[in-house]
Structure 1
Amino acid sequence: METSFPQFEQTSELGKVEIAPEVIEVIAGLAASEIEGVAFMSGGFVGGIAERLGRKNLAKGVKVELGETQTVIDVSIVVEFGVRIPDVATAVQENVNSAIQNMTGLDVIEVNVHVVSVHVKQGEEGK
C-alpha cells in the first residue's frame, strides 16, 4: 500500500516539480547547522537510533509543516555555552528562511527555533 505525503508541487509548461518534505528538512537542518554557536541539532530518540546505526541524519531536529505554497519549520538545536542565545536563534531563523526560499521557492511563514540544551566543551565545566 502506497501512502501519499504532502509535498510541494509546481507545474509549468514543461511538467511538474515535486519536493518531498524530507528534502526541505535536510535544507533546514544544514542551514541551521551552519550558524556559529549551534553545537548540533537535537533529533531526539529516533534520530539518535539512526545515527547509532551508522546513518547520518541530515534532517535531525527539524519538523516541517507543508502547505501548497507555504511552510512552517520547527528547528531544535543545542547551543554552545557562552553564546548569546537570542542572536544565535535569530541567525538560525534567517539562514533557514533564506535557504528554503532560495532553493525551493516556498514561502516560509515561520521558523520556530527550540533551544533544547547547552553544550559545554570538555574542560570548561566549573569555570
Structure 2
Amino acid sequence: MIIEEDKANLGRIEISPEVLEVIASIAVTETEGVHALHNNFASGNFEKIGKKYRGRGVKVDSKDKEVRLSIYVTLDQSHNVHGTAENIQKNVTQTIMNMTDNIVKEVNVHIVNIK
C-alpha cells in the first residue's frame, strides 16, 4: 500500500539558537563525569538580573540547519577527561540531531576546570 505524502509547503520552521543551547546544556549535564557547565558572560549577566538562563556554558552558531557548538565545562576528577569530553560530543550531537533534525558539524569542548 502506497501512501502519498502531502508535499504542500506549509511554511518555514526555525529553531532559535537559545533552544539549541538549552537542548545542548541538558545533554551535557546528563553526561557522566560532568561536574557543571561553566558560566559565560551572558549567562552570568542574565542571572544577576534575576532570570534563569538555561543555556549557560553553551555557545551556538547555527546557519542553514548546520550547527556548531562550543561547550564550557567543569569535569569531575574521578573520570577520564578525554573520555568524558568525547561522551559530551556524542551526547550533544545525538540529542540535537534527534530533537531538531539539524546537522551538527562541530562540538568543541572547552574544559575550564576539574573538581
Indicate whether the TM-score tops 0.5.
Answer: yes
1:59 pairs, out of 55, 62, 76, with: 55
Matching residue of 2:100: 104
Q: Which amino acid aligns with 1:35?
A: T
Q: Which amino acid aligns with 1:29?
A: S
Question: What SS class does the counterpart of residue 16 from structure 1 fall into?
Answer: coil
TM-score (normalizing by structure 1): 0.78
Deviation at 1:53, TM superposition (A): 4.3
1:50 pairs, out of 46, 49, 57, with: 46
Matching residue of 1:95: 91
Matching residue of 1:84: 80
1:36 pairs, out of 32, 35, 57, with: 32
TM-score (normalizing by structure 2): 0.85
Aligned mates of 1:103, 1:53 — CA distance in 2: 30
Question: What SS class does the counterpart of residue 12 from structure 2 fall into?
Answer: strand
Unaligned runs of 5+ in 1: 1-11, 120-127
Matching residue of 2:114: 118
Q: Which amino acid aligns with 1:118?
A: I
- Structure 1 vs Structure 2: percent identity of aligned residues? 37
Q: Which amino acid aligns with 2:64?
A: E
Unaligned runs of 5+ in 2: 1-7
Matching residue of 1:20: 16
Q: CA RMSD in A?
A: 1.5
